[in-house]
Amino acid sequence: MAKNAYTFAKRSKELAKKKKKEEKLQRKGDRPDVEEGPYFDEATGEIVYPQAATEDGEAETPPADQPATDHP
């Protein structure tokens, strides 16, 4: 009898694990593909702040070699 209880508990645990995995995949599928905030780049070990693009597709911030000015 102990064997039946063990197999039942094992099967219940496997089903719960499978259900949790499916729910996680569902949550990941519901998320947008592009994150708006900063993210951690594992390859470089740095936090990357994505630049917001304008309607023309150009970045709002000037290139690094040009200083930003508030007045023309």
String of DSSP letters for 4-57: HHHHHHHHHHHHHHHHHHHHHHHHHHHS-SS-SS-EEETTTTEEE-PPPB-TTS
The pTM (predicted TM-score) of the whole model is 0.41
Predicted confidence (pLDDT) per residue in 4-63, tens digit: 888 999 999 999 999 999 999 998 888 766 657 788 888 888 988 877 655 555 555 555
Whether 71 is covered by a domain: the verdict is no
Cβ(24)–Cβ(16) under 8 Å?
no
Domain ranges, residue 35? 2-48
Whether 53 is covered by a domain: the verdict is no
Looking at the structure of the chain, the number of domains it has is 1
Residue 5: per-residue pLDDT: 84
